[in-house]
């Protein structure tokens, strides 16, 4: 990279801005990471997507990458990891932040969970995570009359 382009790239990163290709790349990494861990349950392959120093802010997940992987491998007694499925609806990225809106279903819980996951990318891997998770409302439960995920209500 020529010095002028390199200087502009450094400036953009300091300002929290990245090129569209970086944002698209970060979204692709996050989606592949989630697919590998939650749907394929390929823990060895999933390790490459999460930093060994992964910071977890979720109140229901133990610290670090091991805490997250442990939740998927051996969830509480009420959940079934063999049938757990994740699907995403929306994803946005800017700078090193990625936010993905998704549904966790098939866990054995009475309802699916709708989650907004906020991820910080660092050196091409998931470095930090926050989430907001809710039980998915039915059409009867929804005061807005709109589904929480996608364009239709479950079931």
* Architecture, CATH, for domain 3-135: Roll (3.10)
Report the C-alpha gap between 77 and 44 in whole angstroms: 24
For the chain, what are the domain ranges?
A: 3-135
First-to-final CA distance of the chain: 53
**What is the tens place of the pLDDT at every residue in 70-119?**
888 876 666 676 788 999 999 999 989 999 999 999 888 889 999 999 99
- What is the phi/psi pair of residue 126, to 5°? -75, 120
- How far, CA to CA in Å, does 128 sit from each of 8, 19, 99? 26, 21, 12
Is pLDDT at 10 greater than 60 in this prediction?
Answer: no
pTM given for the model: 0.82
């Amino acid at each position: 990279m020529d010095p002028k382009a390199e200087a502009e790239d450094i400036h953009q990163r300091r300002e929290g801005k990245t090129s569209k290709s970086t944002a698209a790349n970060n979204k692709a990494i996050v989606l592949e990471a989630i697919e590998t861990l939650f749907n394929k349950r390929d823990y060895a392959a999933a390790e490459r997507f999460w930093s060994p120093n992964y910071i977890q802010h979720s109140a229901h997940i133990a610290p670090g990458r091991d805490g997250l992987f442990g939740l998927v491998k051996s969830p509480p007694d009420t959940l079934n990891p063999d049938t757990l499925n994740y699907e995403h609806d929306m994803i946005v990225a800017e700078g090193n932040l990625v936010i993905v809106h998704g549904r966790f279903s098939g866990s054995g819980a009475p309802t699916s969970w709708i989650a907004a996951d906020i991820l910080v990318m660092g050196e091409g891997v998931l470095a930090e995570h926050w989430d907001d998770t809710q039980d998915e409302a039915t059409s009867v439960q929804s005061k807005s009359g709109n589904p929480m995920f996608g364009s239709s209500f479950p079931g």
